[in-house]
Chain A
Amino acid sequence: MSELATLNIERGGNGATAQTETYEVPFEAGQSVLDGLRWIRVHKDPTLAFRFSCISANACKECMMRIDDKVVYACLARLEPRDMHIAPLSNKPLIRDLVTEIGPPAERL
């Protein structure tokens, strides 16, 4: 039996009730939390919302979220074979799941 990472993800926003959903993700050494989130979308739930663009190159700075109560980039945080708690930024308006309004006001519609 291969190791698993257990991701407890705070979901909700935009009228939906906030709740924590738990997903088990196959663990492979060297993966990022972003890799785990992308695995969930393909294999478990395509509706899980999170922002990312550059895919782990540390260029776009879009995947900022709270992992175990620390504000980090999901692409730089290592996935670990244990329970991890993932939540949206607390100081930005919530759009859905892990997506918050991080664009400057002047660059929105």
Chain B
Amino acid sequence: MTTTLEPTHLSTDVLIIGAGGAGMYAAIEAAKAGSNVLLADRSLIGRSGATVMAMMTVAVALGSQGPDAPAHHLADTLASGRGLCDERLARMLCEDGPECILELDEWGAGWARENGAIKSAHAPGHDRPRCVYVDFLNTGPAVSKTLRKVLHRHDSVRRVGDMLIVDLIKSKGVVTGAVAIEISTGRPVTIAAKATIIATGGLTRLYRRSSASFNMSGDGYALAMRAGARLIDMEFVQFFPIGHLAPRLIGLDPIMWDPFRYKLGGRLLNGNMEEFTERYGSSEDGRYVITRDAATYAITKEVAAGRGTPSGGAYLSFMHLSAETLNEAFGPVIKKLMANGIDLTKMPIEVSPIAHYHMGGVAVDEQMGTGIPGLYAAGEAVGGANGANRLSGNAITEVLAFGRRAGRSAAASIQNTVDQPEFDPGDAQAALERVQHADPDTRGRSINTAAMIAELQATMSDYVGPFKTEAGLKTALESIADLEDRLGDVPPGQPGAFEPSRIDWFDLRTMLPVARVVTQAALARTESRGAHQREDHPGMLDEWRCNQFVEWEADSPTIVRGPTITTQETAA
């Protein structure tokens, strides 16, 4: 059965790719400013991405429970970023955060309160309590639900799920739209858009174990890079130090131990049941104060020294606490754990670093513009604000602040451009042909793209994880080159309804170049800083207090160095 599916054509003012928190906030703002919006997501709207999976807190200097100001939040963000933050973006995150949180409060997000004031928790890396939350296990879903509810009030936003954007289309140097696949039918889609916002989140799917949704494949980085936009800081992948490792459990987010540590402390122990983080310069003492890069470093080193747990991580123990204390803090979760055969009063669980967030991403200006006319980015897809290590709680803040800004900027750009080039079907031809390519003899079994993704994840986890060496990174580049060769230029099988091997092929077309630039940037940076740790180059070097940018020329990426952007006030 081979039938050519005719392309569907859509037209909009603003195309937003990704319906997580940043995409939804951008859609609301663009609609408020009078634009028609097409909000596209490769999964179902509002169910995927990272925001909905975020369990914890949002960092914001509200000063509702004690003195605080964005300048203090900025100081902590810059310190955590180990000298590499783009200060314009870090400042915007800290300064716009409070307004966004208060707007969400008006919209009924339901921030936890104490004596009427929005309540703040004290998270690692912050100089004071600054992290608001809804419920310790439910902050992301509540933010997501609130944005979704407000989105539904705007008739000028068209929401389309099951739509995978595979290429941006440029006409006369301007991004004028995109080519997509409607996953549920396999039908090609062309989209004419006066402005496009990339809100696709990060790249956690490059790794075996991750804390975000399965579909965070670095889509936006590949789209931006191929359209000629610059990427920044791609070597900085944040690992969440205490991701659940063993025993296996179902129905709980692997970063669930974060709230446990906030409320109850807990003890981080090695395979011999000894405290160990002080060996690496960070004392534990039963309190939750250790930053993510330091904890990841300590656990990885301890495992390498042969003092890991049976599954290759560290123990996290709450055995010193009573059943009453545990139940009072996390009753429903304790019940779920019991159903999984885990009694925290009798046994420690095993944890290890898990891919969590990407500090790097698309390089943008203060308006979230990428430098390519018509193209903007928002949320985690943006790089630079968090430098070499993101501060706890800044992820949702950047989702909100950058999403809002990008929506406004994209809408404003439409008012300002009179003779902007329009979408030209001729410029979309090559991308369209790739989506329509049919191999009538196979149904996507000529190559096993699912196995290739698993292979890439193994390579990235083993050689481009929390600890890197020159030899390992070179091995990774060879493996990536091999996968690139095997992938070829056209997808396997033929277009059809929900063809997973074909979707995986398009995902590998995204994941491989992104994996390549992460690895190349990590190989070039011959020092250790924040989330980037090189075993063969320990220690932070002054000469490396600079950013690395990825530039795309003649179908291949190049890494170039550039000065870190500081603002006058902090430089003085």
Question: Which residue, A30, A32, A41, A47, has most C-beta atoms of chain B within 10 A?
Answer: A47
A101 at the interface (CB under 8 A from B): yes
Interface set, chain B 189-237, CB cutoff 8 A to A: 189, 210, 213-215
Given the known A-B contacts A53-B214, A109-B163, are A96 and B44 also in contact in the complex, defined by CB atoms under 8 Å?
A: no
Q: Which residue of B lies closest to A52 (CB)?
A: B214
The reply to whether B184 and A108 contact each other, CB–CB distance below 8 Å, is yes
The reply to whether B52 and A30 contact each other, CB–CB distance below 8 Å, is no
The reply to whether B44 and A107 contact each other, CB–CB distance below 8 Å, is yes
The reply to whether B47 and A60 contact each other, CB–CB distance below 8 Å, is yes
Q: Which residue of B lies closest to A96 (CB)?
A: B498
CB 8 Å contact bits of B222-257 with A (1 = contact, 0 = none): 000000000000000000000000011111111000
Minimum CB–CB distance for A41 against chain B, Å = 4
Residues of chain B within 8 A (CB-CB) of A76 are 250-251
The reply to whether A95 and B184 contact each other, CB–CB distance below 8 Å, is yes
The reply to whether B47 and A14 contact each other, CB–CB distance below 8 Å, is no
CB 8 Å contact bits of A68-108 with B (1 = contact, 0 = none): 00000001101000000000000000011101011100111
Q: Which residue of A lies closest to B216 (CB)?
A: A53
Minimum CB–CB distance for A32 against chain B, Å = 5
A56 at the interface (CB under 8 A from B): yes
Residues of chain B within 8 A (CB-CB) of A106 are 159
B504 at the interface (CB under 8 A from A): yes
The reply to whether A54 and B141 contact each other, CB–CB distance below 8 Å, is no
Q: Which of the residues B47, B213, B248, B445 comes within 8 Å of A46, measured between beta carbons?
A: B445
The reply to whether A57 and B48 contact each other, CB–CB distance below 8 Å, is no
Given the known A-B contacts A15-B1, A47-B500, A96-B498, are A30 and B247 also in contact in the complex, defined by CB atoms under 8 Å?
A: yes
A19 at the interface (CB under 8 A from B): no
The reply to whether A30 and B499 contact each other, CB–CB distance below 8 Å, is no
Residues of chain B within 8 A (CB-CB) of A45 are 445
The reply to whether A46 and B448 contact each other, CB–CB distance below 8 Å, is yes
How far, in whole Å, are A42 and B10 apart by their CA atoms in the complex?
A: 35
How far, in whole Å, are A56 and B8 apart by their CA atoms in the complex?
A: 34
A1 at the interface (CB under 8 A from B): no
The reply to whether A46 and B444 contact each other, CB–CB distance below 8 Å, is yes
Residues of chain B within 8 A (CB-CB) of A50 are 500
Q: Which residue of B lies closest to A33 (CB)?
A: B250
How far, in whole Å, are A76 and B160 apart by their CA atoms in the complex?
A: 27
CB 8 Å contact bits of A26-63 with B (1 = contact, 0 = none): 00111110000000011101111111111111111110
The reply to whether B254 and A57 contact each other, CB–CB distance below 8 Å, is yes
The reply to whether B449 and A57 contact each other, CB–CB distance below 8 Å, is no
Minimum CB–CB distance for A88 against chain B, Å = 11
Give the contact-size bracket for chain B: 35 or more
Q: Which residue of A lies closest to B41 (CB)?
A: A107
Residues of chain A within 8 A (CB-CB) of B444 are 46-47
Residues of chain A within 8 A (CB-CB) of B448 are 42, 46
Pair count A-B, CB < 8 A: 134
The reply to whether B499 and A60 contact each other, CB–CB distance below 8 Å, is no
CB 8 Å contact bits of B382-406 with A (1 = contact, 0 = none): 0000000000000000000000000
Q: Which of the residues B53, B340, B445, B454 comes within 8 Å of A30, measured between beta carbons?
A: B340
The reply to whether A58 and B496 contact each other, CB–CB distance below 8 Å, is no
Minimum CB–CB distance for B324 against chain A, Å = 26
The reply to whether A108 and B498 contact each other, CB–CB distance below 8 Å, is no
Given the known A-B contacts A30-B340, A53-B213, A109-B163, are A60 and B43 also in contact in the complex, defined by CB atoms under 8 Å?
A: yes
Q: Which residue of A lies closest to B162 (CB)?
A: A103
Q: Which residue of B lies closest to A32 (CB)?
A: B250
Given the known A-B contacts A47-B445, A62-B43, A95-B184, are A28 and B248 also in contact in the complex, defined by CB atoms under 8 Å?
A: yes
Q: Which residue of A lies closest to B447 (CB)?
A: A46
The reply to whether B250 and A78 contact each other, CB–CB distance below 8 Å, is yes
Given the known A-B contacts A47-B499, A54-B214, are A108 and B160 also in contact in the complex, defined by CB atoms under 8 Å?
A: yes
How far, in whole Å, are A58 and B138 apart by their CA atoms in the complex?
A: 12
Interface set, chain A 3-24, CB cutoff 8 A to B: 13-15
Q: Which residue of B lies closest to A77 (CB)?
A: B250
The reply to whether B249 and A30 contact each other, CB–CB distance below 8 Å, is yes
Minimum CB–CB distance for A103 against chain B, Å = 5
CB 8 Å contact bits of B47-70 with A (1 = contact, 0 = none): 110001100000000000000000
Q: Which residue of B lies closest to A101 (CB)?
A: B184
Interface set, chain B 454-504, CB cutoff 8 A to A: 454, 493, 496-501, 504
Given the known A-B contacts A42-B450, A47-B499, A95-B498, are A57 and B340 also in contact in the complex, defined by CB atoms under 8 Å?
A: no
Minimum CB–CB distance for A85 against chain B, Å = 19
Q: Which of the residues A48, A49, A59 comes within 8 Å of B141, measured between beta carbons?
A: A59
How far, in whole Å, are A51 and B48 apart by their CA atoms in the complex?
A: 12
The reply to whether B160 and A109 contact each other, CB–CB distance below 8 Å, is yes
B443 at the interface (CB under 8 A from A): yes
Given the known A-B contacts A31-B248, A60-B47, A78-B250, are A95 and B497 also in contact in the complex, defined by CB atoms under 8 Å?
A: yes
Residues of chain A within 8 A (CB-CB) of B162 are 103, 108-109
The reply to whether B53 and A57 contact each other, CB–CB distance below 8 Å, is yes
Minimum CB–CB distance for A96 against chain B, Å = 4
B110 at the interface (CB under 8 A from A): no
How far, in whole Å, are A55 and B210 apart by their CA atoms in the complex?
A: 9
How far, in whole Å, are A102 and B182 apart by their CA atoms in the complex?
A: 15
Q: Which of the residues A14, A47, A59 comes within 8 Å of B53, measured between beta carbons?
A: A59
B451 at the interface (CB under 8 A from A): yes
Residues of chain B within 8 A (CB-CB) of A56 are 250-252
How far, in whole Å, are A86 and B569 apart by their CA atoms in the complex?
A: 62
B residues whose Cβ falls under 8 Å from a Cβ of A: 1, 8, 10, 43-45, 47-48, 52-53, 141, 159-163, 182, 184-185, 187, 189, 210, 213-215, 247-254, 340-341, 443-445, 448-451, 453-454, 493, 496-501, 504
- Enumerate the 8 nearest inter-chain pairs by beta-carbon distance, A residue then B residue, closest first: A30-B248, A46-B450, A57-B253, A41-B450, A46-B501, A14-B497, A53-B48, A60-B47
Q: A28-B248, A54-B214, A55-B213 are in contact. List 15 more A-B contacts (CB 8 A).
A: A14-B498, A41-B500, A42-B453, A47-B443, A53-B48, A53-B214, A57-B251, A59-B52, A59-B253, A60-B43, A60-B47, A78-B250, A96-B498, A101-B184, A103-B161
Q: List 13 A-B contacts (CB under 8 A).
A: A42-B454, A46-B501, A47-B443, A53-B43, A55-B213, A60-B213, A62-B44, A76-B250, A96-B497, A103-B44, A103-B45, A108-B184, A109-B160
